[in-house]
């Protein structure tokens, strides 16, 4: 009996770098960026460099929106053509309405076998779960095994980050438990993480340099003495700081490979320029 053809799909906030994809085919549905009267498909109609240049100078603040159920229906039909099943792994349901709309589309497509996984994350926290599932599918694993691969990484992955200002998270309504840091001195850098799908506060550090150092200390603690299976460092219009974090991560975490990427404009809208972060998970 031949293996099923299982297609793993995700949304644009995963923003997986080409190097990590290593030839895997993972269809992506874009979220929406709304800027005044303009609408942009995340990562399709506007790329990160263009977006961040505009964000720094714009007098109007962009907002974001999830794909509609109708868009998901079309997306699932296209991605599922010729496939036996689809596995959709999407941005945390605590951060976006993407998953409810995907589920609404799923209900209207009884002819397709679709499994939906809440990543409880985004950026490369989501990306690593997607990659695990896609690798399992490419290896001919069963549908249950592909879903389990995504859930296994989801349950082990950690995303830590520091922002220059909480203004963007606050304005975008994604501040979560970090709201207790609002109103702190401008020279304080908040250290945040994704916990159970939400942005939560970890610590306040006096400088970005110290925030990066503390981030790596916490990353080591989260590994619990195990080696890191995969590590990604991301930045939002702060490549020098991202490169510094990546080099220090290699040394501190004992890894030779660190994926370097930015985040999609939709995530950048909420975190803001100057954000630097790390996503990682331990080996089994």
The string of pLDDT tens digits covering residues 29-85 is: 999 999 999 999 999 999 888 998 898 888 888 999 999 999 999 999 999 999 999
- Cα dihedral 216, 218, 219, 221, rounded to 10, equals 130
What's the pLDDT score for residue 2?
56
Residue 187, pLDDT above cutoff 90? no
CA 170/CA 158 separation, integer angstroms: 22
What's the pLDDT score for residue 205?
87
What's the pLDDT score for residue 169?
63
Mean pLDDT of the chain: 91
pLDDT above 70 coverage of the chain, percent: 92
Q: Which helix (H) or strand (E) holds 150?
A: helix 143-154
196-218 pLDDT, tens digit per residue, is 999 888 888 888 889 999 999 99
Residue 66 φ/ψ, nearest 5 degrees: -85, 160
Longest dimension (CA), the chain: 64
**Per-range mean pLDDT, top range of 4-8, 187-191, 272-276:** 4-8
Stated pTM of the model: 0.93
| Helices (runs of H) and strands (runs of E) counted in the chain | 10, 13
- Cα dihedral 268, 270, 271, 274, rounded to 10, equals 60
Q: Calculate mean pLDDT across residues 80-94.
A: 97
């Amino acid at each position: 009996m031949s293996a099923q053809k299982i297609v793993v799909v995700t949304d644009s906030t995963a923003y997986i770098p080409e190097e990590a994809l290593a030839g895997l085919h993972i269809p992506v549905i874009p979220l929406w960026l709304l800027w005044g009267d303009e609408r942009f498909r995340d990562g399709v109609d506007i790329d990160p460099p263009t977006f961040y240049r505009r964000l720094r100078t714009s007098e109007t603040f962009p907002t974001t929106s999830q794909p509609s159920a109708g868009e998901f229906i079309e997306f699932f039909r296209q991605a599922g053509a010729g496939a036996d099943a689809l596995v959709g792994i999407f941005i945390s349901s605590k951060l976006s309405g993407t998953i409810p709309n995907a589920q609404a589309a799923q209900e209207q497509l009884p002819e397709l076998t679709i499994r939906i996984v809440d990543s409880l994350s985004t950026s490369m926290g989501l990306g690593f779960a997607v990659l695990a599932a896609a690798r399992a599918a490419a290896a001919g694993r069963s549908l249950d095994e592909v879903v389990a691969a995504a859930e296994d990484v989801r349950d082990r992955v950690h995303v830590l980050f520091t922002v220059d200002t909480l203004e963007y998270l606050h304005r975008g309504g994604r501040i979560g438990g970090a709201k207790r840091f609002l109103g702190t001195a401008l020279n304080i850098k908040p250290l945040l993480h994704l916990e159970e799908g939400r942005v939560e506060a970890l610590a306040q550090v006096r400088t970005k340099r110290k925030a990066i150092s503390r981030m790596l200390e916490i990353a080591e603690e989260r590994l619990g003495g195990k080696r890191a299976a995969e590590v990604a460092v991301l930045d939002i219009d702060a490549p020098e700081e991202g490169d510094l974090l990546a080099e220090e991560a290699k040394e501190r975490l004992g890894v030779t490979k660190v994926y370097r990427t930015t985040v999609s404009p939709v995530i950048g809208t909420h975190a803001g320029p100057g954000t630097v972060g790390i996503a990682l998970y331990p080996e089994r």
